[in-house]
Chains A and B, each alone.
Chain A
Amino acid sequence: MTLSHFQALLIFALVVSAVFALITKNEPREQLRYGIFVFLSFLAVALAVGWIMYPLPL
């Protein structure tokens, strides 16, 4: 299976946010909102950390 880093990140964020939303919230609307929030947070933090690390000589 060949996935790019971003695709792997997307699948990871989608699965984990779905499980977190279903575990922590009871109402379907709350679950949806929280799931979207966690999903977008994963993406935003990963992209932000990626750009912060970009100039580092690794």
Chain B
Amino acid sequence: MEQINEELESTPRAQPIAVRPMNMAATLAICSGGWLVPGLSHILIGRWIRGLIFAACVLLMFAAGIGMHGKLYDLDFQEPLHIFAFIANVGAGLPYLVAERLDMGIGMMTAPSYDYGTTYLWVCGLLNYLIVLDAFDIAQGRRP
């Protein structure tokens, strides 16, 4: 019995491969790419599966937010509180810029799902910031 336990304990466990810390310029370039295209930073680091899941999550949430007639906020200094909403929205990167360009984020307040859609759009941008920070930590060797 002890022998079996020893064998089990000595069995090597699958450890995530640690990434060698990159220089700061490369890290910032990767993070910028990850901000523009959600999930891209993890894909560039070599975390394919994680990157694809992140991309799917953020893009699904963004598309659902637009589909639910959510509002995308511009940078508007006359409404100071809208700046926070803008910061949250712009975290989605290219999808935000494209949707703004195509006037897709006007927001229909009469739609029952307007509040949900707007919240989806905020949260997907904020999640993308967290994802980029995670990629930063991995690229700097702080996380396996």
Contacts and interface: CB of A to CB of B under 8 A. Distances in A.
A19 B16 CA distance: 18
Given A8-B113, A8-B116, A12-B120, A22 B54 contact: yes
Interface string B45-88: 00000100110010011001001100000000000000000000
A3 B114 CA distance: 11
Contacts of A11: 60-61, 64
Interface residues of B, number: 22
Interface stretch (B89-97, B99-107, B123-131): B123-131
A22 B113 CA distance: 28
Contacts of A15: 57, 60-61, 124, 127
B20 interface: no
B7 to A, nearest CB: 21
A19 B60 CA distance: 12
Contacts, number: 46
**Most chain B Cβ neighbours within 10 Å, of A3, A12, A23:** A23
Given A1-B64, A1-B67, A19 B57 contact: yes
Given A19-B54, A26-B16, A1 B134 contact: no
A5 B115 CA distance: 11
Contacts of A16: 123, 127
Given A1-B113, A3-B113, A19-B131, A8 B68 contact: yes
B127 A3 contact: no
Interface of A: 1-3, 5, 8, 11-12, 15-16, 18-19, 22-23, 26
Closest 3 CB pairs of A and B: A1-B67, A8-B116, A15-B57
